[in-house]
Amino acid sequence: MDIENYLLDVESSLINLAKEKVDQTFAQDWLQKLGKSRKEEAKPETRPAQFFSSLPRSAHWIRILPSEDILKQNVKRLAGELKLGCKTQNDGYLLVYGSKENIKEFVKRMAEKCRRTRKK
């Protein structure tokens, strides 16, 4: 919520600056484009609810889409280290499941790894 408020403040300042430094028409066009993008952004992505019948009731889980930053073999390796299960699903996602504490640790370590990868 705070980030959104900061972004609105920055946007407002930039619009005022555009009016002063460029011209009113440019600022109005920019406002229209921003309004249009907000309407498109506001449409929620609808997905059917996920139910995984093969998981134990007590299992916590997370689905991950492998990418350049998140390699499939890294996900599987870390899941194994933390004694978590890992299944590849038909849509390409990886389903990582196990205890709540281990899932939290998994997310923490994956986030750290992604941050290190992006800094390079």
Looking at the structure, tell me whether residues 35 and 66 fall in a common domain: no
Is residue 52 domain-resident? no
The model carries a pTM of 0.55
Instruction: Copy the structure tokens of residue 67.
Output: 């990418």
Secondary structure (H, E, C), 55-84:
CCCCCEEEEECCCCCCCHHHHHHHHHHCCC
Looking at the structure, tell me whether residues 74 and 105 fall in a common domain: yes
User: Using one digit for the tens of pLDDT, what is the confidence trace for 83-105?
Assistant: 999 998 888 899 999 999 999 99
Range of the domain at 17: 2-42
Looking at the structure, tell me whether residues 68 and 110 fall in a common domain: yes
> What is the side-by-side order of every strand in the sheet holding 94-98?
60-64, 94-98, 85-88
Looking at the structure, tell me whether residues 65 and 115 fall in a common domain: yes
User: Using one digit for the tens of pLDDT, what is the confidence trace for 6-49?
Assistant: 888 888 888 888 888 888 898 888 888 888 887 776 555 555 55
Is residue 54 domain-resident? no
Looking at the structure, tell me whether residues 28 and 64 fall in a common domain: no
Q: Which residues pair with 94 in a beta bridge?
A: 64, 88
How many domains is the chain partitioned into structurally? 2
Looking at the structure, tell me whether residues 67 and 101 fall in a common domain: yes
Is residue 53 domain-resident? no
Q: Which residues pair with 97 in a beta bridge?
A: 61, 85
